[in-house]
């Protein structure tokens, strides 16, 4: 279309230029003829030619506007084409920018294989296209306008997604966050998936295994094929489940609001009825007494005490919770906590510390003289468990290690002072023909039965030590579980860890009911299943993997050291991550609700007694009619009594 416009522009310009020349020369010829014939003077001819020049100039300006108009028309058409293009997906833009920032030095690579893409109007841009740009390699996209260079760039940036084919990111480095779900093509590494699974130990990744968006690569590098991006990733699905669970909850109606909706019209009715009755039964002084009774009823029944009953108690309760390190989102959360009969807990980071540590280290014959060698080897290792060993031996001086080597999937080796040492799995020791002492073997079996990970240390002849690494249970967890069970509350533990490890932690914590090897969506389903059985469920967790279950629960409790999304979803946050705060929060809720009921009770008793007296119920018997000033004082006293009762909550234990 652009070419057709250009052809029309050129033809129009040439035609108008020829017309302009013809008119100019005709004017000159006609002027000369008229002077030659004596019809006009030379002065008249000069003026005539000047005017004709002005007209010719205007015509030339008109000719020059034609290409400009054509250009504007073409640009407008191009803008319309851009507006009709598929909308770009910016959901991964932050991850793309982070990926670029982290890999700018080492280089970024991308590969397309059999990629096809077509616009919504059916126009095919690519069909089975292949593309490869290696890290630090400069690749130019060239071609005429409209051939798909911009679309290809958008596909590279993840703003558009191919309809067929595969995109592969090249270059995952240590500490890098994985941007999309996919499968490893080549290389191997350890990936921290704790944000999804909640488990502290990194997962080994090799060709064929899955990787997920939001997880963090730790040791090693690999290439993976992108399979799910944007809203299709597991992380996005978890977030969507959170939003759905939040939206499904019905709003809690406040008791005071319901009462006030009935109380106010009723009082107005009673006041008017009092006025009418005084007019009917006391014709002489009924008007005066009726007005006085009406005003007194309205004054003494002012719903100040009723209005203060709930907010004052809630304010004191939330403030007391904050003093104890329990952040309560709103009054509904505070009220709900007192109705809880079941508490579901995540394991890692909630019941446990959330990071692997050396719990035991057994030395052959009690001889730990080689601990400096053990530390020196593990300090050079890339295995995630090595960090726990290094932390355990903090302060021990390191030695120079020669001929260090990594044995993939088995462990490490190195030479210190001419002696060859090994650290790793039992399989490594068996392959090297290293002898394991009887006592050390018995201790290793005991530690394995406790679902702990073992790291062996040996020289070229015999095993010198075995280190047990596990996620340690919090000191406060056992007491918290005991308090909850003593209060008649059922406690469940959910984890994605192995059943053996889960059973060991559950036994230590005193938890009889637990579920192991479950996914994040399974946690939410488990909570929902308990709710269908009629239970009021509280969920305590700390990670993104817990967020769906937190949103599903009647009461969601997040640990202060957990993820931002968990705390955003949670109705309560335990700042110190101390589980003993959960039974304390439940007690605080029950105390607050009890105080609210007391406040409402006394407000009703006050009105039940005061309103008939204000209306003149005692006048026929004793001649007593309540003064509005006394009624106002009584009304103020009722408000003070409600506030004082709420303040008592602050000093309860």
Query: How many CB atoms are located within 10 Å of the residue 438 CB?
Result: 7
Helix (H) or strand (E) holding 274: helix 255-281
Specify whether the CB–CB gap between 572 and 317 falls below 8 A: no
The C-alpha atoms of residue 404 and residue 490 are separated, in whole angstroms, by 52
> By CB neighbour count within 10 A (0-12 exposed, 13-18 middle, 19+ buried), where does 235 fall?
buried
- In order of 7, 33, 82, 84, 159, the CA distances from 79 in angstroms are 21, 55, 5, 9, 19
Tokens of 411: 């462990």
Query: How many CB atoms are located within 10 Å of the residue 396 CB?
Result: 14
Specify whether the CB–CB gap between 566 and 546 falls below 8 A: yes
Planar angle of CA 352, 356, 360, nearest 5 degrees: 100
Q: What value does the CA radius of gyration of the chain take, rounded to a whole number of Å?
A: 41
The C-alpha atoms of residue 210 and residue 500 are separated, in whole angstroms, by 24
Burial annotation 130-159 (CB, 10 A radius, 16+ → b, else e): ebebeeeeeeeeeeeeeebeebbebbbbbb
**Paired sense of beta strands 203-205 and 164-170, if any:** unpaired
The C-alpha atoms of residue 353 and residue 48 are separated, in whole angstroms, by 101
Specify whether the CB–CB gap between 528 and 494 falls below 8 A: no
Q: Is 490 a catalytic residue?
A: no
Specify whether the CB–CB gap between 469 and 354 falls below 8 A: no
Contacts of 49-58 with C-beta under 8 Å, sequence gap 24+, read 52/23, 52/24, 52/27, 53/24, 55/23, 56/20, 56/23, 56/24
Residue linked to tokens 């616009």: 119
- In order of 181, 230, 349, 477, the CA distances from 88 in angstroms are 19, 11, 38, 48
The C-alpha atoms of residue 20 and residue 16 are separated, in whole angstroms, by 6
DSSP per-residue string spanning 313-380 = HHHHHHHHHHHTTEEE--HHHHHHHTT--EEEEEIIIIIEEEEEEEEEEEEGGG--TTHHHHHHHHHH
Check 346, 471, 542, 578 and give the catalytic one: 346
211 by DSSP, 3-state: which? strand
Which residues are known to be catalytic? 346
């Amino acid at each position: 279309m652009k070419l057709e416009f250009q052809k029309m522009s050129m033809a129009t310009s040439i035609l108008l230029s020829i017309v302009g020349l013809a008119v100019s020369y005709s004017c000159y010829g006609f002027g000369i003829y008229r002077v030659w014939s004596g019809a006009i003077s030379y002065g008249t001819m000069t003026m005539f030619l000047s005017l004709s020049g002005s007209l010719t100039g205007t015509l030339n300006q008109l000719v020059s506007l034609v290409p400009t108009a054509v250009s504007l028309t073409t640009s407008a058409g191009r803008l319309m084409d851009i507006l009709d293009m598929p909308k770009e997906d910016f959901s991964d833009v932050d991850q793309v920018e982070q990926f670029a920032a982290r890999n700018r030095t080492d280089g970024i690579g991308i590969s397309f294989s059999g990629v096809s893409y077509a616009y919504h109007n059916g126009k095919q841009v690519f069909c089975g296209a292949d593309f490869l740009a290696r890290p630090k390699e400069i690749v130019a996209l060239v071609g005429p306008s409209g051939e798909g260079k911009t679309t290809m760039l958008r596909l590279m940036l993840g703003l558009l997604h191919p309809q067929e084919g595969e995109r592969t990111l090249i270059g995952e480095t240590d500490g890098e966050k994985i941007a999309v779900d996919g499968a490893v093509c080549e290389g191997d590494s350890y990936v921290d998936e704790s944000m999804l699974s909640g488990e502290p130990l990194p997962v080994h990744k090799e060709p064929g295994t899955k990787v997920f968006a939001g997880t963090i690569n730790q040791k090693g590098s690999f290439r993976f094929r992108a399979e799910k991006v944007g809203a299709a990733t597991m992380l996005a699905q978890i977030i969507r489940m959170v939003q759905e669970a939040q939206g499904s909850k019905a709003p809690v109606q406040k008791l005071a609001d319901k009462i006030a909706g009935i109380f106010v019209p009723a009082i107005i009715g009673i006041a008017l009825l009092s006025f009418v009755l005084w007019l009917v039964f006391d014709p002489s002084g009924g008007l005066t007494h009726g007005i006085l009774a009406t005003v007194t009823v309205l004054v003494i029944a002012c719903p100040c005490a009723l209005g203060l009953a709930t907010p004052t108690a809630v304010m004191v309760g939330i403030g007391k919770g904050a003093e104890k390190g329990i952040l309560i989102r709103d009054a509904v959360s505070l009220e709900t906590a007192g109705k809880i009969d079941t508490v579901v807990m995540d394991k890692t980071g909630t019941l446990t510390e959330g990071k692997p540590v050396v719990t035991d280290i057994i030395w052959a014959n009690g001889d730990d003289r080689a601990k400096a060698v053990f530390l020196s080897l593990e300090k050079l290792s890339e295995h995630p468990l090595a960090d726990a060993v290094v932390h355990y031996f903090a302060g021990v001086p390191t030695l120079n290690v020669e001929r260090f080597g990594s044995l993939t999937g088995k462990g490490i080796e190195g030479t210190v002072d001419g002696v060859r040492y090994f650290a790793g799995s039992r399989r490594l020791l068996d392959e090297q023909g290293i002898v394991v002492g009887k006592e050390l073997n018995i201790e290793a079996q005991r530690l394995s039965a406790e679902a702990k990970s073992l790291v062996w240390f040996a020289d070229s002849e015999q095993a010198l030590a075995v280190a047990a690494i596990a996620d340690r249970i919090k000191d406060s967890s056992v007491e918290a579980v005991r308090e909850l069970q003593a209060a008649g509350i059922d406690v469940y533990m959910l984890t994605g860890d192995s059943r053996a490890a889960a059973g060991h932690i559950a036994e230590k914590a005193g938890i009889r009911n637990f579920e192991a090897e479950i996914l994040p969506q399974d946690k939410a389903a488990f909570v929902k299943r308990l709710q269908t059985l009629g239970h009021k469920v509280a969920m305590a967790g700390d990670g993104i993997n817990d967020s769906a279950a937190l949103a599903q629960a009647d009461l969601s409790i997040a640990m202060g050291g957990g993820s931002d999304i968990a705390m955003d979803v949670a109705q309560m946050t335990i700042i110190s991550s101390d589980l003993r705060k959960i039974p304390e929060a439940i007690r605080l809720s029950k105390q607050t609700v009890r105080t609210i009921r007391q406040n409402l009770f006394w407000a009703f008793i006050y009105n039940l007694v005061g309103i008939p007296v204000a209306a003149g119920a005692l006048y026929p018997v004793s001649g007593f009619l309540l003064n509005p000033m006394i009624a106002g004082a009584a009304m103020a006293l009722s408000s003070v009594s409600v506030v004082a009762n709420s303040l008592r909550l602050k000093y309860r234990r």
